[in-house]
């Protein structure tokens, strides 16, 4: 991306980096912006069946309204801050991403019979808050990992450093980029919390949602710390790698969004427990698939270069299995490749290919693939054991099956009816 010069405080406000972001959004009556008080979702999203047809679009419309207001208010504080930080947060949140977490929330809600204007509105607003929380996690993660690309675009800290490369003394542009990204992630978290706080939530369901949200934020930070700790200490423990995958991804990416949807719908304790168990299994598989994609995936699909986890020495299950297998077999060559590749910065394509050969030759790749299949199958069995709305339950089942790259289940059937053996396309036998 080309370098951009620093901008002076223009009364009209700076150009927002990364594409246009609307700076004002009137409320339904046209006299107040969204976000100043609780305001309803944009017109046309109150009907549950309409949202069913395009969940990502409905969440995106809520985000457009909320982010327009937030960016306008940030520019009122200071135009430079509004463009460099708030504008980037809005752009990152609005563009790219699969809205996976908000879709899990929505289809859990629908699987548990959630509908009605107030419930739909709350679900969309919390879904939008989840997207902002994801922005916080990814922007901070990119700084900690020193990543250059995200979603096939320069990461936020790299983009800021490039903007000010000609204006700041040597070295300071990079520090400005890192610091700006930390602040941008903090701002996204603040906006996410604001959005939840402005959403009317009553009774036991409301209390459950707020507790889940609180727990999820803590778990998100805990998972990131376990990841950093494993990198720093060179941990190769499979139990620790699995624990990190569960805390870092399974809870935050799948289980908690599902739990939020179930709580909003007022699901009974047994149904909520079954769906959470499904989310925990599939969420772990989701992280294991991400580990495989980092080494074997196509950058054109993932939006980032391969081999990042290897160069950073991340404590993945894939690496832990390969290391254990190589030690058990006395394979000194495989251990040597792992020892000189893990945590030693960017690899050449030749070096990465050596690592791929070790991960394949030790059987680690096939082992992790089988783990994914078993976890997804186990998760689907939990769904099949719950009495759910047929339409919403089946859509949730399909989403769970596809989240870890397993594709739709071969034996798709409406949930709440008599289930057959739960197997996902490409998956192995069900685990214990």
The model's pLDDT over 333-352, given as tens digits with 9 standing for 90+, comes to 999 999 999 988 878 899 99
Which pLDDT belongs to residue 407? 57
* Main-chain dihedrals φ then ψ at residue 263, nearest 5 degrees: -65, -40
Cβ 111 vs Cβ 415: under 8 Å: yes
CA–CA dist 284, 291 (Å, integer)? 11
Which pLDDT belongs to residue 27? 36
Give the mean pLDDT of the chain.
84
- What is the b/e burial string over 184-198, where b = at least 16 CB atoms within 10 angstroms of the residue's CB? bbebbbebbbebbeb
* The pLDDT of residue 425 is above 60: no
Helix, strand, coil percentages in the chain from 3-state DSSP, rounded to 5: 65, 0, 30
Please state the rounded mean pLDDT for residues 78-90: 97
pLDDT band at 72 (very low <50, low <70, confident <90, very high): very high
Cβ 60 vs Cβ 99: under 8 Å: yes
pLDDT band at 301 (very low <50, low <70, confident <90, very high): confident
At 398, list the tokens. 């399909």
* The pLDDT of residue 33 is above 50: no
* The pLDDT of residue 243 is above 60: yes
CA–CA dist 336, 213 (Å, integer)? 44
- DSSP, collapsed to helix, strand or coil, labels residue 330 as coil
CA–CA dist 283, 250 (Å, integer)? 4
* The pLDDT of residue 403 is above 90: no
Higher pLDDT, 11 or 281: 281
CA–CA dist 276, 432 (Å, integer)? 17
* The pLDDT of residue 412 is above 70: no
Which pLDDT belongs to residue 306? 87
pTM: 0.83
At 299, list the tokens. 């950058």
pLDDT band at 98 (very low <50, low <70, confident <90, very high): confident
pLDDT band at 406 (very low <50, low <70, confident <90, very high): low
Helix axes 269-296, 364-384, angle to 10 degrees: 160
Chain position carrying tokens 């542009």? 173
Which pLDDT belongs to residue 13? 35
């Amino acid at each position: 991306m080309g370098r951009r010069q620093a901008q002076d405080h223009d009364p009209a406000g700076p150009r927002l980096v990364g594409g246009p972001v609307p700076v004002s959004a009137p409320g339904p009556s046209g006299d107040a912006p969204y976000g100043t008080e609780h305001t309803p979702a944009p017109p046309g999203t109150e009907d549950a069946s309409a949202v069913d047809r395009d969940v990502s679009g409905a969440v995106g419309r809520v985000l457009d309204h909320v982010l327009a207001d937030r960016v306008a208010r940030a520019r009122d504080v200071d135009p430079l801050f509004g463009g460099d930080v708030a504008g980037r947060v809005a752009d990152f949140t609005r563009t790219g991403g699969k809205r996976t977490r908000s879709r899990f929330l929505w289809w859990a809600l629908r699987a548990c019979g959630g509908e009605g204007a107030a419930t739909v509105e709350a679900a969309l607003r919390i879904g939008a808050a989840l997207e902002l929380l994801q922005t916080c996690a990814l922007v901070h993660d990119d700084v900690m990992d020193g990543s250059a690309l995200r979603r096939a675009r320069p990461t936020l800290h790299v983009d800021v450093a490039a903007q000010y490369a000609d204006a700041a003394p040597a070295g300071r542009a990079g520090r400005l980029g890192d610091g700006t990204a930390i602040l941008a992630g903090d701002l996204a978290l603040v906006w996410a919390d604001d959005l939840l706080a402005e959403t009317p939530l009553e009774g036991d369901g409301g209390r459950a949602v707020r507790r889940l949200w609180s727990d999820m934020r803590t778990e998100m930070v805990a998972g990131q710390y376990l990841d950093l700790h494993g990198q720093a200490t060179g941990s190769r423990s499979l139990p620790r790698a699995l624990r990190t995958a569960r805390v870092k991804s399974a809870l935050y990416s799948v289980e908690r969004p599902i739990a939020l949807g179930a709580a909003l719908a007022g699901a009974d304790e047994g149904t909520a427990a079954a769906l959470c168990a499904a989310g925990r299994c599939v969420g772990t598989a989701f992280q294991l698939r991400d580990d495989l994609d980092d080494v074997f995936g196509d950058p054109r699909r993932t939006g980032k270069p391969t081999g990042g986890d290897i160069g950073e020495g991340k404590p993945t299950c894939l690496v832990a299995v390969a290391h254990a297998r190589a030690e058990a077999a006395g394979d000194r060559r495989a251990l040597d490749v792992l020892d000189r590749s893990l945590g030693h910065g960017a690899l050449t394509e030749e070096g990465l290919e050596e690592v791929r050969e070790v991960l394949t030759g030790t059987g680690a790749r096939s082992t992790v693939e089988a783990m994914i299949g078993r976890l997804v199958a186990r998760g689907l069995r939990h769904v099949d054991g719950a009495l759910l709305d047929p339409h919403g339950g089946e859509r949730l089942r399909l989403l769970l099956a596809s989240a870890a790259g397993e594709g739709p289940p071969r034996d798709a059937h409406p949930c709440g009816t008599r289930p057959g053996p739960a197997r996902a396309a490409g998956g192995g036998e069900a685990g214990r």
